[in-house]
């Protein structure tokens, strides 16, 4: 039977596009755009928008532009442009030659503004920002017209030209659309179209000292680029009448339509560049690409794959109403992807020395280990075994509680790919800490099976002490302690103080010494771990925990701890 290509899920925007195509709107053309403002790094919420916009273009044989919405020179930087491009590319999308900048349209936008002034639909207002706010009215009260609202076309043209020429100071006047000061939608009460900002722009330098506002720029950029479906998040629903007003009152080269979809919200996560930048600048994290950050670059460093992120975006779908997605769905997506792809290896994070008393002192055996039981094509490798090994401290209890089936005095367990061992002796220091175990092994159980058919209840991972190497492993936990970090106002109040734990002296199997940055492994029984791209050195990898495996015992422990507390 031929494999059926999995169809990407439908959504209301696809339905709209299908209808438009059926009606031969835009001559059957579908053109979308992803319009980031280069004022920070992209986050997983942006990934939703990227997958949607580029995905629709792919599916309907259309195009998707990458457009930098760079109209606020105070906050925008070239390094953000570069980071955004890297992230979109990494997610697997190609904008080809279609890289655009709103700032490339500044001349045309200026001409459009002049056109509005000439038709009596825009005026220069000399009220202060504060006065404009007071004049705007409220939801229940209409606004008051500015005393400058009825300036003549000639005077407006003259003043706007002077604004552009730098004759006025920041904030002394603005260009406003002349719409309706009593409009029920406050955004339609003569919105500002241009303001004076005497700041250098990262692309246009000092050519301009007036900059167009989002609502004026966005729709016109869409029209200039021939965008057909301009997709944005729900907060912009109120801006749609203005989007339409601008396009309906100017001679534009094409007539795009705006559609709004629900933004992605995730539990235990902040998705707002304005807030993420505070975490970076105030040092709560080590940078935009800190593996705890929900940024694309943070997720990449953490070990997330583009496939996992794209699958996640498919899974959450595109809806018309806002909701909050459980962050565990994101974790599920990466586990699912890595389960198929990540080679299994053995690593001991908190080592406990085990001496196998009846194993020959100088012997090393190379035991065969399976690289990925999910994928036989990934083959096998040799793992050295010798008399002294390390196991996890957590895998031994001197006084095992009920349901703890791992190693304990007198108990026999399996060492993965190796032998059955039995704990004979526990060596403790003077404070009672367990420092070493003495065990015996059964030579008949090589490979991990007893010829007499006897069973053991646990299989432990291990590394050979002589062959293992020491490495740093960085364990990450959620950055926020609450599902909604903003529930009580300040999200910084619920930053998790234990979101990063650095373990030194972890013991890793020798095959990992050559692992290169970005490579991802499953440490058996522990989780997925990725070689860090910042701290690793040749032959000295540092590992980030991408995500843990679900550990049944840890769950029992947690439940018990909770019970004790209450």
Active site residues: 37, 263, 273
Among 474, 500, 475, 529, CA closest to 338: 529
Scanning residues 213 to 232, which ones bind ligand ATP (CB under 6 A)?
Answer: 232
Helix, strand, or coil (residue 122) = strand
Instruction: Return phi, psi of residue 50, to 5°.
Output: -65, -50
Half-sphere exposure of 332 (CA within 13 A, CB side): 10
DSSP letter assigned to residue 134: H
Query: Cβ of residue 78: shortest distance to ligand ATP, in angstroms?
Result: 15
Nearest-5° angle of CA 226, CA 231, CA 235?
135
Query: Cβ of residue 69: shortest distance to ligand ATP, in angstroms?
Result: 6
Size of the site for ligand ATP (CB under 6 A): 16
- Using the Cα atoms of residue 554, residue 555, residue 561 and residue 564 in order, give the sign of their dihedral: negative
Q: Is 346 in the site for ligand ATP (CB under 6 A)?
A: no
Nearer of residues 262 and 556 to ligand ATP, judged by Cβ:
262
Cα(544)–Cα(290) distance, rounded to whole angstroms? Answer: 11
Q: Is 191 in the site for ligand ATP (CB under 6 A)?
A: no
Nearer of residues 274 and 560 to ligand ATP, judged by Cβ:
274
Nearer of residues 219 and 531 to ligand ATP, judged by Cβ:
219
Q: Is 185 in the site for ligand ATP (CB under 6 A)?
A: no
Quote the strand ranges of 20-62, DSSP E: 31-34
Q: Is 133 in the site for ligand ATP (CB under 6 A)?
A: no
Among 248, 245, 327, CA closest to 44: 327
**Window of 43-51, 365-373, 382-390, 516-524 that interacts with ligand ATP by CB under 6 A:** 43-51
Cβ(559)–Cβ(490) below 8 Å:
no
Cα(476)–Cα(488) distance, rounded to whole angstroms? Answer: 24
Q: Is 63 in the site for ligand ATP (CB under 6 A)?
A: no
Query: How many other C-beta atoms are found inside a 10 Å radius of the C-beta of residue 423?
Result: 19
- Using the Cα atoms of residue 13, residue 19, residue 22 and residue 26 in order, give the sign of their dihedral: negative
Cα(405)–Cα(389) distance, rounded to whole angstroms? Answer: 20
Q: Is 274 in the site for ligand ATP (CB under 6 A)?
A: yes
Q: Which of 11, 161, 204, 233 binds ligand ATP (CB under 6 A)?
A: 233
Instruction: Return phi, psi of residue 508, to 5°.
Output: -115, 145
Q: Which of 273, 302, 335, 406 binds ligand ATP (CB under 6 A)?
A: 273
Q: Is 240 in the site for ligand ATP (CB under 6 A)?
A: no
**Window of 141-149, 265-273, 342-350, 437-445 that interacts with ligand ATP by CB under 6 A:** 265-273
Cβ(334)–Cβ(546) below 8 Å:
yes
Q: Is 257 in the site for ligand ATP (CB under 6 A)?
A: no
Residue with tokens 């730098």: 166
Query: Cβ of residue 314: shortest distance to ligand ATP, in angstroms?
Result: 14
**Window of 10-18, 42-50, 178-186, 351-359 that interacts with ligand ATP by CB under 6 A:** 42-50
Query: For residue 241, with 0-12 CB atoms within 10 Å meaning exposed, 13-18 middle and 19 or more buried, which class applies?
Result: middle
Query: Cβ of residue 104: shortest distance to ligand ATP, in angstroms?
Result: 17
Q: Is 37 in the site for ligand ATP (CB under 6 A)?
A: yes
For 209-229, b/e burial (b = at least 16 CB within 10 A) is bbbbbbbbbbbbbbbbbbbbb
Nearer of residues 281 and 362 to ligand ATP, judged by Cβ:
281
**Window of 41-49, 337-345, 471-479, 526-534 that interacts with ligand ATP by CB under 6 A:** 41-49
Nearest-5° angle of CA 454, CA 459, CA 464?
115
Q: Is 271 in the site for ligand ATP (CB under 6 A)?
A: yes
Query: Cβ of residue 490: shortest distance to ligand ATP, in angstroms?
Result: 17
Nearer of residues 66 and 196 to ligand ATP, judged by Cβ:
66
Among 441, 468, 442, 459, CA closest to 384: 468
Q: Is 183 in the site for ligand ATP (CB under 6 A)?
A: no
Query: Cβ of residue 43: shortest distance to ligand ATP, in angstroms?
Result: 6
* Assigned token pair, 422: 């039995």
Cβ(359)–Cβ(329) below 8 Å:
no
Nearer of residues 222 and 394 to ligand ATP, judged by Cβ:
222
Q: Which of 26, 32, 41, 49 binds ligand ATP (CB under 6 A)?
A: 49
Among 252, 188, 198, CA closest to 226: 252
Cα(102)–Cα(81) distance, rounded to whole angstroms? Answer: 13
Query: Cβ of residue 73: shortest distance to ligand ATP, in angstroms?
Result: 15
User: x/- contact string, 489-528, with ligand ATP (CB under 6 A)?
Assistant: ----------------------------------------
Query: Cβ of residue 274: shortest distance to ligand ATP, in angstroms?
Result: 6
Nearer of residues 20 and 222 to ligand ATP, judged by Cβ:
222
Q: Is 136 in the site for ligand ATP (CB under 6 A)?
A: no
Residue 54 Cα to chain centre, angstroms: 17
Query: Cβ of residue 46: shortest distance to ligand ATP, in angstroms?
Result: 5
Q: Which of 249, 272, 278, 533 binds ligand ATP (CB under 6 A)?
A: 272
Q: Is 48 in the site for ligand ATP (CB under 6 A)?
A: yes
Q: Is 264 in the site for ligand ATP (CB under 6 A)?
A: yes
Q: Is 267 in the site for ligand ATP (CB under 6 A)?
A: no
Nearer of residues 295 and 536 to ligand ATP, judged by Cβ:
295
Query: Cβ of residue 42: shortest distance to ligand ATP, in angstroms?
Result: 8
Q: Is 263 in the site for ligand ATP (CB under 6 A)?
A: yes
Pairing of strands 351-356, 388-392: antiparallel
**Residue 521, C-beta contacts closer than 8 angstroms, at least 6 positions apart:** 342, 343, 344, 345, 512, 515, 528, 529, 530
Binding site for ligand ATP (CB under 6 A): 35-37, 45-46, 48-49, 69, 232-233, 263-264, 271-274
């Amino acid at each position: 039977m031929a494999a059926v290509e999995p169809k990407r899920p439908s959504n209301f925007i696809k339905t709209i596009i299908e209808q438009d195509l059926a009606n031969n709107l835009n001559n059957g053309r579908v053109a979308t755009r992803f319009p980031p403002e280069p004022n920070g790094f992209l986050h997983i919420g942006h990934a939703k928008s990227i997958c949607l916009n580029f995905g629709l273009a792919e599916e309907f044989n259309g195009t998707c532009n990458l457009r930098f919405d760079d109209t606020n020179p105070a906050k925008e930087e070239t390094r953000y442009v570069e980071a955004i491009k890297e992230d979109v590319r990494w997610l697997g999308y190609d904008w080809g030659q279609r890289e655009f900048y709103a700032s490339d349209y500044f001349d045309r936008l200026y001409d459009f503004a002049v056109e509005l002034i000439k038709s009596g639909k825009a005026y220069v207002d000399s009220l202060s920002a504060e006065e404009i706010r007071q004049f705007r009215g409220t939801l229940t009260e209409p606004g008051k017209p500015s005393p400058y609202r009825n300036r003549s076309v000639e005077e407006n043209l003259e003043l706007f030209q002077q604004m552009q020429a730098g004759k006025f100071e920041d904030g002394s006047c603005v260009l406003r659309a002349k719409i309706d000061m009593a409009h029920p939608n406050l955004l339609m009460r003569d919105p500002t179209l241009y303001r004076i900002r005497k700041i250098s722009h990262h692309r246009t330098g000092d050519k301009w000292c007036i900059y167009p506002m989002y609502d004026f720029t966005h729709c016109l950029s869409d029209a200039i680029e021939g965008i057909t479906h301009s997709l944005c998040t729900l907060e912009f629903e109120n801006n749609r009448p203005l989007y339409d007003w601008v396009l309906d009152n100017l001679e534009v080269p094409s007539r795009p339509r705006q559609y709004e979809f629900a933004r992605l919200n995730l539990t235990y996560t902040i998705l707002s560049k304005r807030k993420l930048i505070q975490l970076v600048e105030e040092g709560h994290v080590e940078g935009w690409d800190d593996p705890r950050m929900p940024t694309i670059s943070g997720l990449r460093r953490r070990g997330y794959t583009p496939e996992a992120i794209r699958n996640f975006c498919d899974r959450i779908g595109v809806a018309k109403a806002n909701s909050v997605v459980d962050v565990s769905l994101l974790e599920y997506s990466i586990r699912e992807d890595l389960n198929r792809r990540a080679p299994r290896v053995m690593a001991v994070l908190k080592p406990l020395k085990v001496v196998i008393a009846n194993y020959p002192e100088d012997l090393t055996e190379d035991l065969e280990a399976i690289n990925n039981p999910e994928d036989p094509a990934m083959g096998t490798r040799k793992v050295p075994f010798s008399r002294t090994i390390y196991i996890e401290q957590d895998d031994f209890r001197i006084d095992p509680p009920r349901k703890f089936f791992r190693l304990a005095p007198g108990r026999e367990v399996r060492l993965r790919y190796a032998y059955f061992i039995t704990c004979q002796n526990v060596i403790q220091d003077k404070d009672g800490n367990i420092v070493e175990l003495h065990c015996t092994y059964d030579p008949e159980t090589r490979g991990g099976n007893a010829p007499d058919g006897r069973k053991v209840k646990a299989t432990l991972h291990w590394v050979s002490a002589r062959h293992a190497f020491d490495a740093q492993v960085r364990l990450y936990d959620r950055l926020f302690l609450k599902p909604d970090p903003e529930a009580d106002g300040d999200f910084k109040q619920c930053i998790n103080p234990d979101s990063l734990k650095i373990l030194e002296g972890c013991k890793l199997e020798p095959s990992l010494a050559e692992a290169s940055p970005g490579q991802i492994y499953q440490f058996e029984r522990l989780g997925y771990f990725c070689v860090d791209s910042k701290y690793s050195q040749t032959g000295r990898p540092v590992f980030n925990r991408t995500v843990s495996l679900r550990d049944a015992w840890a769950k029992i422990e947690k439940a018990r701890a909770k019970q004790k507390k209450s």
